[in-house]
Structure 1
Amino acid sequence: MAMSMTQLGQDPAYARFLGAPVGEDRTGTSVSVLSMLARLNVDPWNEASDLAKMQEAPARQRLEALLARFEDVPTLLADQGRVASGLLAFLPNRAKTAGPSGNGSVAQSVKLPTGAPLYWIIAAALFLGWIVTLAQGN
């Protein structure tokens, strides 16, 4: 049976971003964001999560810096800004700053992940129950 991303503990919400192409390397192979980050020794899911939590400007700056470090795709040098903007659009639940609210403060919308922690708690409880049953010899 093939393992899915959720079975491996990786958030499928980032699949679109991580699967997006950044260009072709010198051998003509299409390189995805996931491949690029892995080649840069950066954890792809952690990076995607961090970028999704950042405001637009810092996220774009960070992604452009990663693109600049990645020399396997020669066409990235000229298109970093355009590629970064396109890739950031694939990130889910981007933290965005709204305009000033009625009291002059700036509201910020951050959507927390739902469900995933609950699944791990249930799985851990079932696993521990199984271990106890085995230990009792039943």
Structure 2
Amino acid sequence: MKLRDVRNRKTPPLMIIPMIDIMFFLLVFFMLSTMYMIDLKTIPVKLPQAKNAATDTTTTFAVTMKADGSIYLGDAQTDAEALALQAGLEQKMNKNFAVVIRAEKALEYGEVIKLVDKLKGAGVSRFGLATDGGK
């Protein structure tokens, strides 16, 4: 019976190119899948158009104002007083807290200002106004 000599063992070749291909594939897969995971639960409204709109996905509160005067936090209906109370509590816990207001195009400008004023009274200092990015 012939035993193999330990000194004459050949190491198997390490194929690095297929491993790099797989890593790039996984990277692209995870990048694309995380883009579809960002889902703001909001009420659909007709937003005004803007050519120079910027996208922000770090919003803590997405507030929607419909033309009939109803206010939604995410996809749940609320009123201005409850929203201000909740936003004030969140502002105390998070100094980078921001509110983005998605006001319907047909809503009067004064209603948006009333809500902003109420939120400012609750201590919120960072606001954004959502628009439909024009092309």
TM-score interval, smaller chain: under 0.3
TM-score, with length taken from structure 2: 0.28
Answer 1 or 2: which has greater strand percent: 2
TM-score, with length taken from structure 1: 0.27
